[in-house]
Amino acid sequence: MARTNRRLSRATRYARYAGGPDPLAAPVDLTEALDAIGEDVMAGYSPEQAMREFLRRGSKDRAGLDDLARRVAERRQELAQKHNLDGTLQEIKQLLDSAVLAERKQLARDAGLDEGDRALAEMQLDNLPASPAAAVSELNGYDWQSGAARADFEKIKDLLGREMLDQRFAGMKNALENATDDDRAAIAEMLNDLNALLDAHTRGTDTPEQFDEFMQKHADYFPENPQTIDELLDTLAQRAAAAQRMRNSMTQEQRDELDALAQQAFGSPELMQSLAQLDENLQSLRPGENWGGSERMEGQEGLGLGDGTGVFQDLADLDELSEQLSQSYNGSRLDDLDLDKLTRQLGDQATVDARALQQLEKALHESGTMKRGSDGQYKLTPKAMRALGKALLRDVAEKLSGRQGNRDLRQAGAAGDRSGATREWAFGDTEPWDVTRTITNALTRTAGEGRPTGSGIRIEIGDVEVHETEARTQACVALLVDTSFSMAMDGRWVPMKRTALALHTLITSRFRGDELQLIGFGRAAEVMQIEQLIGLDAMWEKGTNLHHSLLLANRHFRKHPTAQPVLLIVTDGEPTSHLEPNGEVYFNYPPDPVTVAYAVRELDNSMRLGAHTSFFRLGDDPGLARFIDSMARRVGGTVVAPEADDLGAAVVGSYLGSRKPGGGFGAAGSGFDELFGRSDGLWAR
């Protein structure tokens, strides 16, 4: 057995992890994403748009799509500005210059050479054309005296052949360095067999066996290891298209030079014929590749034909990644992102960031955060609304604790104020434990059972005592939020929604017995569900119909006659519209005294129903301040003038204060007649 274990141990191998998500990565945290998505939804984005925006921006710890797209664009610009396309021509020119120089030296020191032959050779070298292609063609039959010069000249033909092949088959330039005649013959045979296979595929007469036979014979030329003829075609066509785009990007002079030089490649015109046939087959079989594009390459570093084709493939990969990262096409998903190409172009960290975004997108779709409605559009689910509301409530709690002596909303409202007495726990109790009395009961019981000291204490149900609290009355809450155009224009739209959601979350999670109604009022008023209010687009219609919203609030109060009415009004403008007896909406600016009178009458009705009223005045308009102050004095309400960012804390704090036993607001005079210069008793109607 021991021998077997040792044998298994010796067979163990370790390698770098590759592929798939990081097995040690932390689970996807949706908190930050949900907060950001919720903010955008409240600002008017659809949930789908909001999710896309978050993925574009990224999180605090992860790059987003925009950052990855920026790096892709920078990488592309770097490649285009770094290189130029005359690398092969420059290399040929250097070999040609080296051969000519070596030959001149040999002619100068070769004493046995006939003077007439020397003069003729020097004249031929002196009068070579400036064009490298023409010079190579003229020297093709030259009788070289220098062995080194002859070797350099032969390298030109060898270089051209390797570069031409490297354009179509990556890595061929290095593989065929110092190629023999047998190597060249093998290349020619492979090209002939490949063109025959592609011809058969074009006609539809090829078979899997024919492909397998080809790969068994020529597999060494295809390190990509294609498994089907389509995979082979994709690989070859992508590189051939890149080679064509490189050619398109050259100047006409460069193309003419290379065309003329290509006939000298390996000293075999047949090679060029085979490559031309290959290109023709590939363009016919893969017309969807980009065969017509071009680039401006004006850098300092020259590219050979093979390396340049690789760069143009990189550019094509970067263009594809840019489109994938844009997510601008129909049905786009982050799963479309080619992580292998991203790794090749930007490195491992970019792939880690992209994979994290993919997982986040998948989690948002699968976690119940969003669902498609009947109209096909994504909507935030109740689960997402609760999570977002809790986050907003935490923010409100932090602001309240800073102003009210570390008050914790998690404790507020769980029960009434403590009476000072305790009692035995009963099923259904939610009051906090009296820990001291509970442990004392357990100790007393343990000692009475005669158990030895030091044997530990075990608390049983009968030991538990809880703090008694004063009974809380049920509240009937109406939150009236101004949805007029000025709220959106002055940047108060999102704070208004955040306030509504925070209060809704508090009541539905901590004060389930309370009845909350959300009422939005612009030119007219409307009772809204929280999902409707959160998804409400900015409304640019003028009108502030406080009268209509108070009518709806009072109707809500009358439906719950045993509950304590709590009226919370958020507005940034005086009433400018009201509901006529026939149901039509009347609007006028500046405020019509009749409109104000209708609003005051309904506010008086709220007071007679016993409502605790709080006004939350947004903005510094003096007229609005006088109006709100007068309204509050009339009904014994309070006025709070918070900054927009503090609105949520102000409203929640007011609601909590109104629920305290004995809580309420002092009464005061009205002052409306003085404010509007009326003395006809209109306000009392």
Would you tell me how many other CB atoms lie within 10 Å of the CB of residue 338?
14
Task: State the Cα–Cα distance between residues 110 and 124, nearest whole angstrom.
Answer: 17
Q: Who has greater pLDDT, 509 or 381?
A: 509
> Which is higher by pLDDT, 571 or 663?
571
The arithmetic mean of pLDDT across residues 146-159, rounded, is 89
pLDDT of residue 190: 92
pLDDT class of 157 with cuts at 50, 70, 90: confident
The answer, yes or no, to whether the previous bond of 495 is cis (omega within 30 of 0) is: no
Nearest to 504 by CA among 392, 373, 636: 392
pLDDT band for position 19 (50/70/90)? low
Burial of 537 (0-12, 13-18, 19+ CB in 10 A): exposed
Q: Where are the domains of the chain?
A: 28-58+328-380, 86-289, 416-471, 475-684
Is pLDDT at 656 greater than 70 in this prediction?
Answer: yes
Mean model confidence pLDDT for the chain? 83
Task: Find the distance separating the first CA and the last CA of the chain, reported in whole Å.
Answer: 101
Is residue 389 within a helix (H) or strand (E), and if so which, with residue range? Answer: helix 382-403
User: What is the average pLDDT across 231-245?
Assistant: 93
User: What pLDDT is stored for residue 637 in this prediction?
Assistant: 93
C-alpha of 497 from chain center:
24
Report residue 3's pLDDT band, with 50, 70 and 90 as the boundaries: very low
Distance CA 279, CA 123 (A): 42
**Kindly report the CA angle at 165 between 184 and 252, in degrees rounded to 5?**
130
Question: Percent of the chain, pLDDT > 70?
Answer: 85
Q: Who has greater pLDDT, 226 or 405?
A: 226
The CATH superfamily of 475-684 is von Willebrand factor, type A domain (3.40.50.410)
**If pLDDT is split at 50, 70 and 90, which confidence band does 111 have?**
confident
C-alpha–C-alpha distance, residues 639 and 630, integer Å: 10
Task: Give pLDDT tens digits for 354-364.
Answer: 988 888 888 87
- Span 9-20, average pLDDT: 54
Other C-beta atoms closer than 10 Å to the C-beta of 506 total: 25
Higher pLDDT, 72 or 395: 72
- Whose CA is closest to 650, among 492, 474, 472, 488? 492
CB atoms within 10 A of CB 471: 9
Chain segment 607-639, per-residue pLDDT in tens: 999 999 999 999 888 889 999 999 999 999 999
Does this model's pTM top 0.85? My answer is no
Calculate mean pLDDT across residues 262-274: 76
pLDDT at 115: 85
pLDDT at 285: 93
Q: Between these two residues, 646 and 527, which has the higher pLDDT value? A: 527
Q: How confident is the model at residue 38 (pLDDT cuts 50, 70, 90)?
A: confident
Distance, in Å, from the CA atom of 277 to the CA atom of 271, rounded to the nearest integer, reads 10
Which residue in this structure is represented by tokens 């008023």? Answer: 525
pLDDT number for residue 557: 96
Give tens-digit pLDDT for 462-492.
888 888 765 557 899 999 999 998 898 888 8
Predicted confidence (pLDDT) per residue in 303-331, tens digit: 888 888 999 999 999 999 999 998 887 77
Cis, peptide link before residue 590, omega less than 30° from 0: yes
Distance CA 544, CA 601 (A): 16
